[in-house]
Amino acid sequence: MATTQTSAQASTHRRAALVTGASRGIGRAIALRLAADGLDVAIGYAGSAARAEETVAAAREAGVNAIAVQGDVSQAPDVARLFDAAQQAFGRLDVVVNSAGIMPMAPVAPASLDAFDQIIATNLRGAFLVLGEAAARLDGGGRIVALSTSVIARSFPGYGPYIAAKAGVEGLVRVLANELRGRCITVNAVAPGPVATELFLDGKSDEQIAQLSKVAPLERLGTPADIAAAVSFLAGPDGAWVNAQVLRANGGFA
């Protein structure tokens, strides 16, 4: 269910954004950065209502309207409900960011098929549904941003299903940009390198984390704020001429 707004009526003059996977990690940072940029934000989340409400409260501190909407991006009715709630709350929708994703490790092997199907359902099918719904709903001047990964260029063992899904996302971004020809809507992806989030850190040893933090020439892990800044650029006025691109925000990781 969507939370109620702080004001009696939706803002009609501020731009508005929908961010999926926004209750934590990179998605939360993106939602809060867009709120700081002056956009009303709909916080899409799959599981933790409490975390989503915390993000809503933090976004409202920036002086914008914010709501939380639960939904599984792999399910078409849920995705449609996310968009319906955002448009009903704000009276418009200008920016859509698909940040929802999972990253379990699994080798390329028959025993990994269940993990593969799960990753493809959330990370690729979910992107297909969110990007497709955004294409149907946004007007001229709209911005669509998907989250990919810079791990594609590294081909680390155990990342096969995740890389396969994100490579598909990058393909969808380029095709959709061409399908939206003439509508003045940009479609891009941001591909983070290793970022210090729960999703990335889960299941990794201290040694692995230390090793990965040294791969990029800047010799640190990225932060959610680093990625949010790249999305802010693509969603803002300075990103208007960037289209059908993958922005690799990774400190030189790949």
The set of catalytic residues is: 162
Q: 3-39 as b/e, with b when 16 or more CB fall inside 10 Å?
A: bebeeeebbeebbbbbbbbbbbbbbbbbbbbbbbbeb
Q: Tell me how far apart the alpha carbons of residues 250 and 221 are, in angstroms, rounded to a whole number.
A: 9
CB 15 within 8 A of CB 91: no
